């Protein structure tokens, strides 16, 4: 039974040893039987926490733009601690993290065109903080992107909604 439960769980997505152990415990599998099955799955490579951690970090950092701090917390929640987690997190260097933060800010910036620079800065730094970025890095990236795009500096003294905006309509 334990073997079938683990195989079914691994069909959908890779799992850590702890995730499978918790699943087996919920299903009422005796601890010694669960340990035997998990040991065997580890021997044949079906359960590999180090490989799981590397794949998780690569996927979540590229797809969601998460910082190392957030990735570490997610790995810990999945049952990957210690050296396996540290080796996986080492795949993300400072430049990767800064570039991911920059992409997140640039992607979010278009939705903030109607707010002032202070509000945009606060919202963007908050978004980066929720993704695990430190305050210093978040503020620097936001400032660089806003300065680079000229956000908050309107060359038209009337502004986009000021007097004369009707003249711009087709």
For 40, the domain range is 2-47
Does a structural domain hold residue 22?
Answer: yes
Any domain includes 38 = yes
Asked whether residue 160 is domain-assigned, the answer is no
Whether 127 maps to a domain, the answer reads yes
Query: What is the spatial distance between Cα 88 and Cα 82, in angstroms, rounded to a whole number?
Result: 10
Residue found by looking up tokens 């680079």 in the block? 148
Contacts 24+ apart (CB under 8 A), 32-41: 33/2, 34/2, 36/2, 37/2, 37/3, 37/6, 38/6, 41/6
Residue 1's pLDDT band, with cuts at 50, 70 and 90, is confident
* Model confidence band, residue 32 (pLDDT cutoffs 50, 70, 90): very high
Which pair of tokens denotes residue 85? 């987690």
The number of angstroms, rounded, from the C-alpha of 77 to the middle of its chain's C-alpha atoms is 14
Q: For residue 170, what pLDDT band results from cuts at 50, 70 and 90?
A: low
State how far the Cα of 90 lies from the Cα of 136, in Å rounded to an integer: 21
Domain annotation covers residue 78: no
Asked whether 69 and 134 are in contact (CB, 8 A), the reply is yes
Calpha distance 79→14 (Å, rounded)? 13
Cα–Cα nearest to 35, from 43, 87, 144:
43
Res. 63 pLDDT band, cuts 50 70 90: confident
What total number of domains does the chain contain? 2
What is the pTM for the complete model shown?
A: 0.77
Which residue, among 85, 83, 63, 87, has the nearest Cα to 74 in the 3D structure? 85
């Amino acid at each position: 039974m334990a073997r079938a439960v683990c195989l079914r769980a691994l069909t959908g997505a890779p799992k850590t040893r702890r995730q499978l152990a918790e699943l087996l415990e919920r299903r009422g599998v005796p601890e010694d039987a669960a340990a035997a099955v998990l040991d065997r799955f580890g021997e044949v490579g079906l359960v590999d926490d180090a490989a799981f951690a590397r794949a998780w970090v690569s996927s979540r950092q590229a797809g969601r733009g998460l910082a190392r701090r957030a990735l570490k917390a997610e790995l810990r929640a999945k049952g990957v601690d210690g050296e396996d987690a540290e080796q996986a997190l080492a795949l993300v260097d400072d430049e990767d993290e800064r570039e991911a933060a920059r992409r997140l800010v640039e992607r979010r910036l278009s939705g903030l065109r109607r707010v002032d620079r202070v509000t945009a800065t606060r919202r963007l730094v908050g978004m980066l903080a929720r993704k695990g970025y430190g305050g210093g890095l978040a503020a620097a990236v936001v400032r660089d992107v806003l300065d680079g795009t000229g956000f908050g500096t309107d060359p038209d003294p009337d502004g986009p909604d000021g007097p004369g905006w009707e003249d711009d309509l087709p």
